[in-house]
Amino acid sequence: MYRLLPRIGATNFTITTFIAPLSAIILGVSLLHEVIQPIHLFGMAVIFIGLVVMDGRVVKRLRRVAA
């Protein structure tokens, strides 16, 4: 973990903490047969959009296409 931090940077390293709730919901639904609520789907979408924005590659491509 500490070898990875200098290589990818702090921002990309913290992205892994946002994946934990997504995997918890997916595992809960698939293994424990929990019921997924619409708010779960909304939360997953918000986290996914946040990850895409934090990563920055998609935003850079969109700026290149617009220019």
The tens digit of pLDDT for each residue in 13-54 reads: 777 788 888 888 889 999 999 999 999 899 989 988 888 887
What's the confidence (pLDDT) of residue 20? 85
Where do the structural domains in the chain lie, given as residue ranges? 4-66
What's the confidence (pLDDT) of residue 12? 75
What's the confidence (pLDDT) of residue 61? 84
What's the confidence (pLDDT) of residue 19? 81
| DSSP percent split of the chain into helix, strand, coil, nearest 5 | 80, 0, 20
Spatial distance between the Cα atoms of 53 and 62, rounded to a whole number of angstroms: 11
Hey, what's the torsion of the CAs at 41, 54, 23, 21, to 10 degrees?
Answer: -70
